[in-house]
Structure 1
Amino acid sequence: MSMPTSEQQTEFEAAAFRRLLSHLRKRADVQNIDLMNLAGFCRNCLSNWYLDAAREAGVELTREESREIVYGMPYEEWKALHQTEATETQKAAFDVNRPRE
């Protein structure tokens, strides 16, 4: 088995990222707090990482623009359509599991 070239690796990573975004858009029933509690990251984290990468490359995006790229729609619209109020159990788990950077 041969390892992918650097260009191929970038292409494969981009394809995997697109697939992850597609999956998360289809699974709007999964709340960000649940993702944070189980995996330590959520859609907002992805949008922040995207924003960081764009800025490092000299591309000026706003937080709202990077969130729209990740969510597939304006963030406020996504929240209105899909976000539910976090339960006390979810909030307590988040307090324990929250990334401490």
Structure 2
Amino acid sequence: MSDTDFETTQIEAAVFRRLREHLLQERADVQNIDLMILAGFCRNCLADWYREAAEHRGITMTKDEAREAVYGEPFPAWKAKHQRDATPEQLAAFEAAQRLHKG
């Protein structure tokens, strides 16, 4: 790995940590379903990608371990503090967004 590759990896890691901090601390009010509607990914997607990247490097990780790495605590604890039930409007918007992305 060249110095440039190392620096790029360090920058990308810092960006990931900043995104995670933003979504978990500064914008915990934004629901995962809203992220899915608007951006097509959510905090759980980040955890899935985290686990996939670990496994690509030969590190076995469970879904719960990956979620804890992203959420900074066990997912059920974060969910109890921050996640609300989806409204009918959110569910309808989610379904519409899914059809748009599959179309």
What TM-score results when the alignment is normalised by the length of structure 1? Answer: 0.91
2:28 equivalent to 1:37: no
What is the aligned partner in structure 2 of residue 82 from structure 1? 82
2:13 equivalent to 1:11: no
Once the two structures are TM-superposed, the CA of residue 7 in structure 1 deviates from its matched residue by: 1.1
Letter of the 1:16 partner, please give it: V
Once the two structures are TM-superposed, the CA of residue 17 in structure 1 deviates from its matched residue by: 0.2
Counterpart CA distance in 2 for 1:66 and 1:90 is 26
Letter of the 1:23 partner, please give it: H
Once the two structures are TM-superposed, the CA of residue 51 in structure 1 deviates from its matched residue by: 0.3
Counterpart CA distance in 2 for 1:61 and 1:47 is 10
What is the aligned partner in structure 2 of residue 23 from structure 1? 22
Counterpart CA distance in 1 for 2:19 and 2:5 is 21
Counterpart CA distance in 1 for 2:78 and 2:94 is 21
Larger helix percent: 2
What is the aligned partner in structure 2 of residue 55 from structure 1? 55
Counterpart CA distance in 1 for 2:64 and 2:91 is 25
**What do you get for the CA RMSD once the two structures are aligned?**
1.2
Aligned residues between the structures:
97
Letter of the 1:88 partner, please give it: P
Q: Secondary structure at the match of 1:5?
A: helix
What TM-score results when the alignment is normalised by the length of structure 2? Answer: 0.90
Unaligned runs of 5+ in 2: none
Unaligned runs of 5+ in 1: none
Q: Which runs of 4+ in 1 moved over 2 A?
A: none
